[in-house]
Structure formats: C-alpha cells, structure tokens
Amino acid sequence: MKKLLFLSAVLAICFTSCKTTQFGGNNAFYGQVNQTQVVLSESNFKVLGSFVGHSNTKVKLLSIKDKDGLVAGAKQDFLNNARAAGVELTGSRAIVNACVDYITNGDRITVTFSAEIIEFTK
C-alpha cells in the first residue's frame, strides 16, 4: 500500500512539475516554419539595406513569459529603423536572412532582430 501511495505521489509530481520552455538555446520556435527554396539563374533582386532592431526587459523571478512580445518589439524597432532610412515593405520587397538573438545579462534580457530587406526587380 505504501509503495502504491509513493508511486502515485511520484507520478503526480512528474505530471505537475515545471514544463520545458520553447525559448531555450535552440531557437526552434522562431526558426523557419514554412521552408521555401528559390533557385535564381540570374540576379533579379537588389539589397535595399541591412537593419537591426532591439527590445529589452527586466527578468523577474528567473522566468520571463513574454519573450514573444520582446521579439515582436525588436522586429517593430527593425521596421522603424528601416522606415527611417527610407525603406518600406511594399510591393515585391521581402525580409531575408533574419536572425533573432537573445542576450541575458544579469537581470535584463535583450532581443536583437537583424535582417536584410531586398526588392525583386523582375
């Protein structure tokens, strides 16, 4: 009876314990979901510029639940920086080579979104 009680307590602890997060070091959540392949036989695009956006917040209680918001904020800062340089995402323009970096320094976390904006010419 004691073994059954112990086993049920262990199972209850296992099923109610902390879950792993998708925001580890692997960046799987923000990777490419829809993979596409473009084969270019000739150069039919021009690079309009490389831009960077940042967003940061203070980490509370060793956990941060709003990293999605940080990435969105960094991407919005990226788009604002591009707009300030005169580059808008209109027509046949696209964001390529996007990279999301998480930097944790003490009690602050900084997200950096960097990418290039290209325009297809043909």
Domains and CATH numbers, the chain: 34-120 (3.30.110)
**Global pTM value:** 0.63
Place of tokens 């964001």: 95
Is 89 in a helix, a strand, or coil? coil
Q: If pLDDT is split at 50, 70 and 90, which confidence band does 66 have?
A: low
Q: If pLDDT is split at 50, 70 and 90, which confidence band does 35 have?
A: low
List, for residues 50-65, the tens digit of each pLDDT value: 999 999 888 766 555 6
- Cβ neighbours, 10 Å, residue 79: 18
Contacts by residues 98-107 (CB-CB < 8 Å, ≥ 24 positions apart): 100/27, 100/30, 100/71, 100/74, 102/23, 102/27, 102/67, 104/59, 107/58, 107/59
Task: Considering only residues 8 and 83, tell me which one the structure prediction assigns the higher pLDDT.
Answer: 83
Task: Considering only residues 39 and 104, tell me which one the structure prediction assigns the higher pLDDT.
Answer: 104
Confidence at residue 27, expressed as pLDDT on a 0 to 100 scale:
47
Beta strands in the chain (DSSP E): 45-58, 93-105, 108-120
